[in-house]
Chain A
Amino acid sequence: MNGASSAVVVTDLVKRFGDFVAVDAISLEARKGEIFGFLGPNGAGKSTTIRMLCGLLRPTSGQAQVSGLDVATQPEQVRQNIGYMSQKFSLYNDLTVSENLNFFAGMYSVGRSDLTSRLDWAIDMAGLRGRENSFTGTLAAGWKQRLALGCAVLHRPQVLFLDEPTSGVDPLSRRKFWDMIHTMAAEGVTVFVTTHYMDEAEYCNRLVLIDRGKIVASGSPLELKQKYMAGDLLLVECDEIGTALELLQGAPGVDDAAIFGNALHLVVPKASAAIAAVTSYLSQHGITVQTIEPIRPSLEDVFVSLTTARTGAATEKPIP
Chain B
Amino acid sequence: MNINRLLAMAGKEIIQIKRDARSIGIVIAMPLVMMLAFGYGVSFDTKHIPLYVYDMEGSRQSQDFLKRFQSSIYFRVVKSVTTYRELVQALDDGKCQMGIVVPADFSSRLSSGETVAIQALIDGTDSNSANLGMGYSQAIIQAYSQQVTTQWQQRQGHANVLPPISVDSRTWFNESLESMATIVPGVVALVMAVVGTFLTSLTIAREWERGTMEQLISTPVTPMEIMFGKLTPYMVVGLFDTCVCAAMGVWWFGVPFRGHVWVFFLSSILFLTVVLSMGYFFSVVAKTQLAASQISLIATFLPAFLLSGFIYPIDQMPAVIQVITHAVPARYYMAILRDVFLKGTPILLMWRDFAGLALFALLLAVVASRAFKKRLE
Are A and B a genuine interacting pair, yes or no? yes
Contact A106 B210 (CB under 8 A): no
Contact A105 B8 (CB under 8 A): yes
Nearest A residue to B12 via CB reads: A103
B286 at the interface (CB under 8 A from A): no
Contact A106 B212 (CB under 8 A): no
Query: A75 to B210, alpha carbons, bound, how many Å?
Result: 24
Contact A94 B19 (CB under 8 A): yes
Contact A90 B12 (CB under 8 A): no
Contact B219 A107 (CB under 8 A): yes
Residues of chain B within 8 A (CB-CB) of A75 are 374
A255 at the interface (CB under 8 A from B): no
Residues of chain A within 8 A (CB-CB) of B375 are 56-58
Query: A45 to B261, alpha carbons, bound, how many Å?
Result: 59
Q: A90-B211, A91-B212, A93-B210 are in contact. Are A76 and B8 (CB under 8 A)?
A: no
Total interface residues on A, CB under 8 Å, equals: 35
Residues of chain B within 8 A (CB-CB) of A51 are 376
Query: A103 to B16, alpha carbons, bound, how many Å?
Result: 12
User: Which chain A residues in 268-302 approach chain B with CB under 8 Å?
Assistant: none
- A58, A86, A109: the one contacting B215 at CB < 8 Å is A86
Shortest beta-carbon distance, A159 to chain B, in Å?
12
Contact A107 B211 (CB under 8 A): no
Query: A84 to B376, alpha carbons, bound, how many Å?
Result: 14
Contact B20 A94 (CB under 8 A): yes
Query: A54 to B16, alpha carbons, bound, how many Å?
Result: 27
- A58, A89, A107: the one contacting B216 at CB < 8 Å is A107
Interface footprint category on B: 20 to 34
Q: A51-B376, A75-B374 are in contact. Are A88 and B19 (CB under 8 A)?
A: no
B92 at the interface (CB under 8 A from A): no
Query: A179 to B212, alpha carbons, bound, how many Å?
Result: 26
Query: A8 to B332, alpha carbons, bound, how many Å?
Result: 55
Residues of chain A within 8 A (CB-CB) of B175 are none
Query: A55 to B213, alpha carbons, bound, how many Å?
Result: 14
A99 at the interface (CB under 8 A from B): yes
Contact B218 A54 (CB under 8 A): yes
B318 at the interface (CB under 8 A from A): no
Contact A107 B214 (CB under 8 A): no
Q: A80-B220, A107-B219, A108-B219 are in contact. Are A90 and B214 (CB under 8 A)?
A: yes
Nearest B residue to A115 via CB reads: B4
A260 at the interface (CB under 8 A from B): no
Question: Can you give 15 A-B contacts (C-beta < 8 A)?
Answer: A56-B217, A56-B375, A76-B222, A84-B218, A85-B215, A88-B214, A90-B210, A90-B211, A93-B210, A94-B15, A95-B12, A106-B4, A106-B8, A107-B5, A107-B221
Q: Which B residues have a C-beta under 8 Å from some C-beta of A?
A: 2, 4-5, 7-9, 11-12, 15-16, 19-20, 210-222, 374-377
